[in-house]
Amino acid sequence: MKTLTKAGSPKQEALEIVITELERSLMVLEANYQKAVSNLSLLRKCVETDDLTRLLRRGAFMVKLHNLVQNSAAEGREVHVMMIDVDHFKSVNDTHGHQTGDVVLQQISELVSRFMRPEDLAGRYGGEEIIVAMQGGKVEAQAVAERIRSVVESHRMVSRAKVEFKVTLSVGVASSHEFGFEADSLIGRADAALYRAKSSGRNCIIVDYHEVVAA
């Protein structure tokens, strides 16, 4: 004996069509939302990133540094700020040209980035100055600063005229353990330490404004 299947009512069929169309519309909206989120992320990265070095712009770095300092204070973790400056950079521009100077900054920025963890911050503070912020112990921060200094010192730069030359860095490091959880204060102390590094013969690291780590 055959069982007869009763067809749905016109009203039920219309509702099913509406539901199907709504589901399709929802899928399109979800796809567009994900695309918008991706585009927003790319746009934010473009706004925050320095065109030449691909590091954070100064303004973006400062916002992130303030957040890092506040979070670190709440978590009881140390924060270290490094001010990094290319020694005799004006001489590089005068000798090899400003375009070569730009390449030097790009290559140094790439070398610095190699030692950055995802949670660390690296930005272009101004001109040839690079600023780094990281959590961790003082010894760890000092070791990172030394690795950056060392790898740049041994790296061969090449001018547009295919002339090889080398550059060195001076680095100043300040720690929240010594100077407290205040972003501007840490930057000021790191900058003062950098000044002492340059006054001490360059190509060296001054840690917390009183400890010299010779090259």
Q: Are residues 64 and 35 in the same domain?
A: no
Q: Are residues 39 and 133 in the same domain?
A: no
- The pLDDT assigned to 145 comes to 97
- The pLDDT assigned to 41 comes to 61
Residues 58-84 have pLDDT tens digits of 999 999 999 999 999 999 999 999 999
Q: Are residues 15 and 108 in the same domain?
A: no
Q: Are residues 96 and 28 in the same domain?
A: no
CA-wise closest residue to 187 among 206, 173, 177: 173
Domain presence at residue 4:
no
Q: Are residues 98 and 198 in the same domain?
A: yes
- The pLDDT assigned to 14 comes to 83
Residues 1-17 have pLDDT tens digits of 444 445 568 888 888 88
Q: How many domains does the chain have?
A: 2
Catalytic entry in 16, 30, 128, 182: 128
Q: Are residues 82 and 153 in the same domain?
A: yes
- The pLDDT assigned to 47 comes to 77
- The pLDDT assigned to 23 comes to 87
Q: Are residues 113 and 167 in the same domain?
A: yes
Domain presence at residue 194:
yes
pTM (predicted TM-score): 0.79
Q: Are residues 78 and 38 in the same domain?
A: no
Domain presence at residue 1:
no
Tell me the average pLDDT across 182-199. Answer: 95
Q: Are residues 13 and 105 in the same domain?
A: no
Q: Residues 117, 70, 194, 178: is their CA dihedral positive or negative?
A: negative
Domain presence at residue 182:
yes
> The CATH number of the domain where 67 resides is what?
3.30.70.270
- The pLDDT assigned to 43 comes to 61
Residues 89-104 have pLDDT tens digits of 999 999 999 999 999 9
Give the Cα separation of 37 and 35 in Å (integer). 5
Domain presence at residue 69:
yes
**For residue 171, what are the domain limits?**
49-213
Domain presence at residue 3:
no
Q: 113 or 39: which carries more pLDDT confidence? A: 113
Considering the chain, what is the average pLDDT of its residues? 89
* Residue 128 a catalytic site member: yes
Q: Are residues 154 and 114 in the same domain?
A: yes
- Model confidence at 52, in pLDDT bands (50, 70, 90)? very high
Q: Is the pLDDT of residue 156 over 70?
A: yes
- The pLDDT assigned to 213 comes to 53
Tell me the average pLDDT across 159-183. Answer: 93
Q: Are residues 151 and 68 in the same domain?
A: yes
Domain presence at residue 82:
yes
Domain presence at residue 153:
yes
Per cent of the chain over pLDDT 70 is: 88
- The pLDDT assigned to 177 comes to 87
